[in-house]
Amino acid sequence: DNKQNISEEVEYTITGIEPGAGITVTTEKAIKEYDSLNGWSLETSSTAAMVTALEEAIDNEEPIIVTGWNPHWKFAKFPDLKYLEDPKGVYGGAENIQTLARKGLEEDKPNAYKIIDQFNWTVEDMESIMYESKDTGDSIDAVASRWVEDNQNKVSQWTDGVEDVDGVKVEFSSTPWDSERASSSVLAQVMEQKGFDVTVTPVDPAAVFEAVANGDVDATLAAWLPATHKDFYNKVKNDIVDLGPNLEGAKIGVVVPGYMDISSIEDLEP
């Protein structure tokens, strides 16, 4: 495959995910910024459809270019997947997943605020839940519940200094991806053990930020920053409390199978 053939064979199309995803917005920016992507389009559908297209392409050793991210199980299942270099830095460098709270939460529900603020874990923690759910077919909630049992050291750091409560209601907004289903499920279960009554509502990223800024929910664990959700964040940054990263070392970008003989977004052809 020479480079021209690759661009032609994928029909100048990047296989994307949900229209509302941050990575979709970021990829539209990349298409505008890179001359090599002039005239390209981003085909949006769903994460499940992207993964199916990726699996089929790999089975047939055909070229495909997808929007991809970590933490996700696709890199464990297909170890030769690679990110294309992004010399313009459109996709940012190391991404964090951050916790945002509504204004007033600390005063209204200090114990909830404390545990939400203390929640943090690693890429490996999050991926272990995602892999196990993918492997066993068990729900994220079921695997998260086992993870909580098996990781009491970490859990006790989050609950340090947090008093038990009696049914205090706490609402999270989250996104529908497995990564955020895992984090929300873990913290919800830990908080329920402390006596909180927790609700998690998955919505599009734009709605996640609005819900926290409007005070419709108490907090979210689902903000990918500084790049992925930059536009959503900038709109509301004065109306929220930013509690910083709950996970460091996430990543987003353009991903291709290892048999494709290109290494940079600039290797593509308009």
Residues in contact with ligand PBE by the rule CB under 6 A: 17, 21-23, 69, 175, 177, 179-180, 205, 224, 228, 252
Hey, which residues does 66 pair with through a beta bridge? 15, 255
- Judge whether 220 and 99 are in contact, CB under 8 Å: yes
Angle at 162 between CA 183 and CA 148, to 5 degrees: 35
Looking up tokens 């049914």 gives 167
Nearer to ligand PBE, 17 or 162 (CB): 17
Determine phi and psi for 102, rounding to 5 degrees. Answer: -75, 155
The answer to whether the CB of 144 falls within 8 A of the CB of 129 is: yes
Q: Output 120 or 175, the one with its CB closest to ligand PBE.
A: 175
Residue 216 in contact with residue 23, Cβ under 8 Å? no
Minimum CB distance to ligand PBE, residue 229 (Å): 6
Would you list the DSSP string of 26-41? Answer: HHHHHHHH-GGGTT-E
For the bound state, the minimum distance from the C-beta of residue 33 to ligand PBE, rounded and expressed in Å, comes to 18
CB 188 within 8 A of CB 202: no
| Count of C-beta atoms within a 10 Å radius of residue 92 | 19
Give the amino acid at 51: V
Largest CA distance in the chain: 64
Q: Which is nearer to ligand PBE, 92 or 257 (CB)?
A: 92
Whether the CB-CB separation of 80 and 74 falls below 8 Å is answered with no
Judged by CB, which is closer to ligand PBE: 16, or 112? 16
CB of 90 to ligand PBE, least distance (A): 13
Q: 3-state DSSP call for residue 190? A: helix
In the bound state with ligand PBE, the residue whose beta carbon lies nearer, of 68 and 257, is: 68
- Smallest distance from ligand PBE to CB 91, Å: 10
CB of 141 to ligand PBE, least distance (A): 18
Minimum gap (Å) between residue 23 Cβ and ligand PBE: 3
Q: Which is nearer to ligand PBE, 98 or 111 (CB)?
A: 98
